[in-house]
Structure formats: structure tokens, C-alpha cells
């Protein structure tokens, strides 16, 4: 029962992350500026959490490479998703982003030995992948020649990122302070590269984008939920393993964010998408039943 509660908390934080991103799009804020504020706030919250929960801590050299790698993957995935959305559409981009769950699940089952109730897990994961496609996929109005590499990277990079976080949690992080310090290194790396992107975007634009107070407000909310979601991810993969956490998390978030879009942002839904929601619900119950 406690694992279920932890998963629900994780999913609620992820929904906060989604709603923040949705509002950033609605407000038409500069994404590079907002993402920099997001990582700055995430760094602040991580340090604050460290100060309150761990009176004595020291940054270990064993965390440097994992933190840098995951932080670089964070910001690279963000850039790839932006350009993929522009080239091939948000539907295909989001679908492939969520389907990347097969990478950490495969590593968890084959390499980390998370193979209990394997047939039930596989069935749930297959249903989840089908639900992602039914809910999220929209045929692009135009086919862009040579744009195949971007969707492939959208699938690959988040999967590698999730896998890296789980392997770091399994083999490197030995106590809660290490987990906080790992996240600090991840967010600091992402902040550094996001600031570079802000300056590059500013120099490239002919019409300069001024910094708005809303960027600080919504970027700050995004940073808070980014920190909370990442922290719960580390906790939950340590308790349950990625073969359960990642598919349940992704299926739940896709299902709930789709419903939020319908009821709060007045988005229209087809019969195909409602079928996807139903399959997502079944997938979540199938995978969660293996706990």
C-alpha cells in the first residue's frame, strides 16, 4: 500500500509539471528563458532540502560524471523536443517521448533482474504503448523531408536519461544525501547549458524578447515540480524498480493530462483517444498489480 501512495504522489507532482508547461505555452513565454529559470529554482530547492535534511554532507567525486551526463541529457532532450515539435508535430513527438519507456524497462528486466510477474508486466506495457499512440498521435499536416532523425532522438534520449537515473540510483547513490547531491549536480549542469541557450537564442533573434515577470512565476513553478518529480523518481525506482515505476508513471500522466486537456483547456477528444484512455487505465492496473 505504501508503494501505491508513493506512486500517486509521484504522478501528482508530474501533473504539476505538465500543467506548468501547458501554462507556459498558453502564455507564449520564451521557452529558453523559462527553462533556465526552471533549473535555477530546482537548484535552489535542492540545496534548501539538503540544508534542512542533512546537517553534514560532502559532494562525492563519484557523482560528478552521472550528474553531468544526466544534466546534459535533460537539456539536450528539451532542445530536441522543441525542434521535433516544429518539424513533425507535437503528436508524434509526444508519443515517441512517452514510448521511450521501453528502454529503461528493458534494462530493468534484462540487466537488473526485475523479472517478477514478467508476462503481466509485458502485457501492461504493450497496452500502455498502444494507449500513448491512440491518445497522442496526430498526423502532421506536412511531411518534412529529412526529419526522421529528430523523432528517433526524441525516443532515444529520454529513455537513456531514465535508464541513467535508475542505474545511478542502483549502483552509485548509497544514502539520501547522495541522492540530493546527484540532483543538485544534474540541475546545475542543465542550468549552465540552458543559460548558453538563452544567449544563443537572444543573439539569433532579430526581435529581442524581453524578460517577463511571468517567466519567473511559471518557470519557478516548473522548477519546483521538476525538483519534486525527480526526487520522487529516485525514491520510487529504489523501492520498486524502473520496470514498474516508468510505465505506471507514463501511462498515468498521459491519461490524466489528456483528461485535464479536455475538461480544463477545452480540447476536443476523438473516439480513438477515449479508447486510448481506457487502455491506459487497464495498463496502469495491470502493472501496479505486480507490486
Q: In sequence order, what DSSP letters do the residues of the chain get, joined into one string?
A: -HHHHHHHHHHHHHHHHHHHHHHHHHTT--HHHHHHHHHHHHHHHHHHHHHHH-SS----GGGHHHHHHHHHHHHHHHHHHHHHHHHH-HHHHHHHHHHTTHHHHHHHHHTS---TTHHHHHHHHHHHHHHHHHHH----SSPPTT-SHHHHHHHHHHHHHHHHHHHHHHHT--SHHHHHHHHHHHHHHHHHHHHHHHHHHHHH-SSPPPP-HHHHHHHHHHHHHHHHHHHHHHHHHHHH-HHHHHHHHHHHHHHHHHHHHHHHS-----HHHHHHHHHHHHHHHHHHTT-
Q: What is the mean pLDDT of residues 94-104?
A: 81
Q: What pLDDT is stored for residue 207 in this prediction?
A: 61
Q: What is the mean pLDDT of residues 260-268?
A: 73
Q: Output the pLDDT for position 146.
A: 47
pLDDT, tens only, 38-54: 999 999 999 998 888 76
pLDDT of residue 262: 75
pLDDT tens per residue, range 157-200: 988 999 999 999 989 988 878 888 999 999 999 999 999 998 88
Mean pLDDT of 68-86: 86
Give the rounded percent of residues in the chain with a pLDDT score beyond 70. 89
Q: What is the pTM of this model?
A: 0.86
Amino acid at each position: 500500500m505504501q508503494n501505491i501512495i508513493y506512486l500517486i504522489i509521484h504522478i501528482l507532482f508530474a501533473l504539476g509539471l505538465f500543467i506548468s508547461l501547458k501554462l507556459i505555452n498558453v502564455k507564449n513565454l520564451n521557452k529558453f528563458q523559462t527553462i533556465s529559470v526552471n533549473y535555477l529554482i530546482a537548484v535552489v530547492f535542492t540545496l534548501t532540502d539538503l540544508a534542512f535534511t542533512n546537517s553534514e554532507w560532502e559532494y562525492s567525486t563519484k557523482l560528478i560524471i552521472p550528474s553531468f551526463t544526466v544534466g546534459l541529457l535533460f537539456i539536450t532532450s528539451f532542445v530536441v523536443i522543441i525542434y521535433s515539435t516544429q518539424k513533425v508535430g507535437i503528436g508524434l513527438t509526444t508519443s515517441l517521448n512517452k514510448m521511450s519507456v521501453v528502454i529503461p524497462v528493458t534494462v530493468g528486466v534484462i540487466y537488473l533482474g526485475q523479472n517478477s510477474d514478467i508476462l503481466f508486466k509485458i502485457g501492461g506495457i504493450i497496452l500502455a504503448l498502444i494507449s500513448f499512440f491512440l491518445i497522442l498521435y496526430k498526423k502532421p499536416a506536412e511531411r518534412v523531408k529529412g526529419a526522421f532523425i529528430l523523432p528517433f532522438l526524441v525516443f532515444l534520449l529520454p529513455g537513456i536519461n531514465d535508464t541513467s537515473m535508475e542505474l545511478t540510483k542502483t549502483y552509485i547513490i548509497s544514502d539520501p544525501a547522495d541522492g540530493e547531491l546527484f540532483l543538485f549536480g544534474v540541475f546545475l549542469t542543465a542550468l549552465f547549458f540552458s543559460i548558453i541557450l538563452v544567449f544563443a537564442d537572444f543573439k539569433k533573434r532579430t526581435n529581442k524578447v524581453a524578460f517577463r515577470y511571468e517567466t519567473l512565476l511559471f518557470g519557478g513553478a516548473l522548477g519546483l515540480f521538476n525538483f519534486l518529480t525527480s526526487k520522487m523518481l529516485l525514491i520510487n525506482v529504489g523501492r520498486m524498480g524502473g520496470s514498474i515505476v516508468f510505465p505506471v508513471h507514463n501511462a498515468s500522466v498521459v491519461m490524466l493530462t489528456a483528461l485535464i486537456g479536455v475538461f480544463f483547456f477545452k480540447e476536443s477528444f476523438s473516439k480513438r483517444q477515449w479508447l486510448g484512455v481506457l487502455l491506459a487505465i487497464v495498463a496502469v492496473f495491470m502493472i501496479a498489480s505486480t507490486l
